[in-house]
Amino acid sequence: MILGTVLGLIIFGGIGEFSKSQKANSLGQVKYLIGVSYPNLNGPWQLQMNKEIKNEIARHDDTRVIFTDAAQNDEQQVQDIHSLMSYGIDLLIVSVDNASTLTPVISEVYKKIPVIVLGRGVKGYDYTLYIGSDNQLNGNMAAKEAIRLLGNKRGQIIEVEGNKESLQAEERSKGFRETIQRESKHSIIETINGNWLKDRAEDELKNLLKSGVKPDLIYAHNDAMALGAYQALKQLKIEGIKIIGTDGLNEESGGLRLVKQGIIDATYITPTGGTSAVQYAIDILHKVPGLPKKIILRNHEVTKSNVDSYLTEGDNSSIPFIKKKERKIKLGFAQVGSESEWRLANTDSIISAAKEAGVELILKNADYSQKKQMDIIRDFIKQKVDVIAFSPKTEDGWEEVLMEAKNAGIPIILSDREINVEDQTMWTSFIGSDFVEEGRRAGKWLVSDSKLTTTPLHIIEIEGTANSAPAVDRKQGFNEIIQQNSKFQLLQSYSGDFTLDQGKKWMKQALKTYGTEIDVVYAHNDDMALGAIKAIEDYGLKPGVDIKIISIDATIKAFNSLKLGKMNFTVECNPLLGPQLMKAVKDLENGIEIPQKIITAEETFDQKQSKKEFSRRAY
């Protein structure tokens, strides 16, 4: 173990060992020291991540990196992180295999310095930034390909998992299984733990196959294990089995070459995020404002039919880039309406960011009508704008109009709200909040605020627009938390459309029905909470005291109510999406691949915290 620690500490940049106090003297112009902790460096994907970090850091003269490799020993990785902290690092980049063991130590580090979690996640939100793929989507895409490959027969599938403790493996498995169960008659007959390693997958699979198990398809959570599976089949002279891997590296034995050679049938390019991690680390260290909380990188499905385009360097044929024009780039933005203070701040942010970025913006307001929003998008297509962004009123019903945009070759950016469409290539990127997490945060505050209460707490929920992403997700997140304790009793949910008037109307109705029985109001936005506050006052009760008020958005008006003691808690939902949107538009113009999702960083505020923050509030 001791030997492992010493060998595990690799110092890049020729610095030699030093302590924080030595740093300033001996390193001359070196200003920042970044610690990088890997769970292992024995797989091609982690090696690629390492290469990207090294290459990118070499571009920054004033920054150095210390790498540690825990050689697949979780306790060792905990030790490594402590060692890095003792070297006085200014920022930690960490990739983890065992989320349960590593989450607490990373939370501790996050209290002291910024932390970027890379590629493999931790539990919760105790980090500065997460960069990685949507692993559930990854598994889901693999399942769809498995269904296509297996055709009509009732196929038997073996799943080869990565390390059991890693969230990456858990999420890929979940996405794969859910889709297989929902959309096919195939069955997953066995799961083996390949621990991300080729040899282990090969040995485990050989044992299984020798026992007489007969699969039609093998789904491996990475390409190394997919290659192991292929070798096991070859040694046992078993033919005709389809293999799907994940990672899609373009190197010897990498997924792209395996697909090209017909060794495996499909892979998913899963970027490591190493380059972006260093770029964001530099931004974090330079305290650049408005940085996101999560960057979800894009996966590309690669099969025999499109592998050549990925092997030709620089050809990302599935991403709609904008052809450079002589004129300014033209962005059509179909704003959903003017229903709330949040929305007004969001519109202002888009207008001012477009001006600053030199983007020609055509902004049209749909006045909260989905039909009108579709008409506006169709008009943008006719006008041949370069990019279309919109904030979808509801989650459903977008297929037709988005297909028209896709056929016209116009990339779509979803701003603030997500949609439900089967074909995920209908949209290019999403920029906005994690609404489920917002709901959870609202629920967690209630749990902590009422921890001494043993009697039932009666809740009125005022939801946002029916079938809109924020309403669906905020409800889900809140329920997830309060359902853990039967003392929380939901009296009724009303659908309030995110407006002050609706909040007031439904609260009046709730008071008429339940009167003083109501203990808590959970409103899906501040405007509805403010409406509810008025109704409670009209009824002769004290909002914030007789009835606790929990809300979402954290606008300045909500802060005012917190200050006056009429509201108890608000969860921030950041409307200032303009700068991130313009960056994405510019990246599209410059041929830079933009992430699948960019999730904004957000905070929460109770009455005490709001006093400190009040003067700094931008919206």
CA angle, 70 then 73 then 78, to 5° = 70
Give the Cα separation of 78 and 73 in Å (integer): 9
Q: Which is nearer to ligand AHR, 514 or 619 (CB)?
A: 619
Instruction: Write out the H or E segment, with its range, that includes residue 134.
Output: none
Asked if residue 469 lies in contact with residue 501, where contact means CB atoms within 8 angstroms, the answer is no
Q: What residues make contact with ligand AHR under the rule CB under 6 A? A: 339-340, 342-343, 416-417, 470, 498, 525, 552-553, 573
CA angle, 207 then 212 then 214, to 5° = 100
Q: Which is nearer to ligand AHR, 463 or 553 (CB)?
A: 553
Residue position matching structure tokens 């005291």? 545
Q: Which is nearer to ligand AHR, 72 or 525 (CB)?
A: 525
Q: How far is the CB of 341 from ligand AHR (least distance, A)?
A: 7
Q: How far is the CB of 406 from ligand AHR (least distance, A)?
A: 24
Q: How far is the CB of 497 from ligand AHR (least distance, A)?
A: 9
Q: How far is the CB of 63 from ligand AHR (least distance, A)?
A: 37
Category of 540 on φ-ψ map: left (φ > 0), alpha (ψ -120 to 50) or beta: left
Q: Which is nearer to ligand AHR, 529 or 588 (CB)?
A: 529
Instruction: Write out the H or E segment, with its range, that includes residue 32.
Output: strand 32-38
Q: How far is the CB of 498 from ligand AHR (least distance, A)?
A: 4
Give the Cα separation of 579 and 542 in Å (integer): 40
Instruction: Write out the H or E segment, with its range, that includes residue 267.
Output: strand 266-269
Q: Please report, in angstroms and rounded to a whole number, the separation of the first and last CA atoms in the chain.
A: 53
Q: How far is the CB of 113 from ligand AHR (least distance, A)?
A: 31
Q: How far is the CB of 473 from ligand AHR (least distance, A)?
A: 10
At 390, the amino acid letter reads F
Q: Which is nearer to ligand AHR, 67 or 342 (CB)?
A: 342
Give the Cα separation of 217 and 238 in Å (integer): 12
Q: Which is nearer to ligand AHR, 244 or 599 (CB)?
A: 599
Tokens of 491: 């009296």
Q: How far is the CB of 573 from ligand AHR (least distance, A)?
A: 5
Q: How far is the CB of 21 from ligand AHR (least distance, A)?
A: 47
Instruction: Write out the H or E segment, with its range, that includes residue 132.
Output: strand 129-133
Q: Which is nearer to ligand AHR, 172 or 597 (CB)?
A: 597
Alpha-carbon distance values, 325 to 28, 274, 330, 385, 444 (Å): 45, 31, 10, 12, 49
Q: Which is nearer to ligand AHR, 192 or 500 (CB)?
A: 500
CA atoms within 13 A of residue 555's CA, in its CB half-sphere = 19
Q: Which is nearer to ligand AHR, 60 or 557 (CB)?
A: 557
Q: Which is nearer to ligand AHR, 219 or 398 (CB)?
A: 398
Using the Cα atoms of residue 344, residue 416, residue 117 and residue 482 in order, give the sign of their dihedral.
positive
Coil, strand or helix: which one is 123?
coil
Q: How far is the CB of 417 from ligand AHR (least distance, A)?
A: 5
**Strand-strand pairing, 294-297 and 597-599:** antiparallel
Q: Please, which residues have CB within 8 angstroms of residue 358's CB and are 6 or more apart in sequence? A: 328
Q: How far is the CB of 19 from ligand AHR (least distance, A)?
A: 47
Give the Cα separation of 321 and 411 in Å (integer): 8
Q: How many CB atoms lie within 10 A of CB 238?
A: 12
Give the Cα separation of 570 and 266 in Å (integer): 46
Category of 76 on φ-ψ map: left (φ > 0), alpha (ψ -120 to 50) or beta: alpha
Instruction: Write out the H or E segment, with its range, that includes residue 575.
Output: none
Tokens of 83: 């060692």
Q: How far is the CB of 604 from ligand AHR (least distance, A)?
A: 14
Q: Which is nearer to ligand AHR, 280 or 498 (CB)?
A: 498
Q: How far is the CB of 337 from ligand AHR (least distance, A)?
A: 8
